[in-house]
Structure 1
Amino acid sequence: MTITGTLIGDGLRVDAEFAPPGARIRRIYRLDQAAAAGKGQPRVWTVVDFEADDADAVARALSESLSPVGGWYADFRDGADRVIVYAGAIFRYSPGDAETRAAAIAHGRSVGVPEHQLDWDD
């Protein structure tokens, strides 16, 4: 199954590489996020829309390449599941799994993700 995701390039660690096997870039663009950016996040983001065939490989690659500073994370769907990825942490939950969703939100708060960014469309 092909997954699609969005990576904010500015959220990568310096010298990190996001290169899961078989990932394909769909588009790259810049977005003014002055109103939505959190503390330590730039006003303008570089957005990379991608697709890949292996959700677990994408999650591992993101977890290894995202910066632990600045409240960065990535999220995507794998079928009905939502996958939330932080530097060093991966949360996967199915619809109705309130416990894992709450743990992903709590982790996001603990690493500085702005509250308004923790409202994933489930």
Structure 2
Amino acid sequence: MMLGAWVIVIPWGMTSSGQSDVDRAIGVLIAESLRVGSTLPSLGITLGTITRLVPAQPAAGQPPAWTLIEFGVDVTHAHTFADELAGALDIGPWYVEFHTHTETFIVFRNRIFRFARDDEHGHTIAADHGRNLGIPDHQLDWPR
């Protein structure tokens, strides 16, 4: 895990229900990025490790300590989960990245980018949007 990064690659295997990680979209949610009063529906989300850390270089408007929540969601609910996240994120330099084996979802408040994991143009457009929100480049290092 790299401090200051928004993304942690999670080694997922079989879930307790026997579902493989091929059927899951995985990512990390920073609890402090959620708007106060927001609620995310279950949608069959599985939780991984929850970690509290101090990021190396938080952006302006980000708190000095973060709570990272590793999650997985069934690929059939990935788009719905992205929509819910887009409405639940707080204003400011926040996003959630999650991905399947083939697709990446970058979710900002009220804005979703969805593209093939190897699509450099998609990565560039989403990263440019993040920079416009004040997110530093070292936090825009999504897995490909």
Q: TM-score, normalised by structure 2?
A: 0.76
* AA in 2 matched with 1:99: H
CA shift, 1:37, in A, is: 1.1
Identity over aligned pairs, percent: 35
The ranges of structure 1 where at least 4 consecutive aligned residues each deviate by more than 6 angstroms after the TM superposition are: none
Task: State the shift of 1:101 in Å.
Answer: 1.7
Match of 2:71 among 50, 53, 59: 50
RMSD: 1.5
Asked whether the equivalents of residues 63 and 89 of structure 1 are also in contact (C-alpha less than 8 Å), the reply is yes
Between stretches 4-13 and 53-62, larger displacement belongs to: 53-62
Alignment length (residue pairs): 120
Q: Which residue of 1 aligns with 2:15?
A: none
Deviation of 1:108 after TM superposition, in Å, equals 0.4
Unaligned runs of 5+ in 2: 1-22
**Which of 31, 36, 41 pairs up with 1:14?**
36
CA distance in 1, matches of 2:60, 2:37: 22
TM-score (ref. length: structure 1): 0.88
Q: Distance in 1 between matches of 2:91 and 2:51?
A: 23
Q: Is residue 85 of structure 2 the alignment partner of residue 73 of structure 1?
A: no
Give the distance between the partners of 1:61 and 1:96, measured in 2 at CA.
25
Question: Distance in 2 between the 1:100 and 1:6 partners?
Answer: 20
Q: What residue in structure 2 maps to residue 62 of structure 1?
A: 85
Answer with 1 or 2: which has the greater Rg.
2
Q: 1:90 maps to what in 2? A: 112
Deviation at 1:20, TM superposition (A): 4.3
- Structure 1 residue 107, shift from structure 2 partner: 0.7
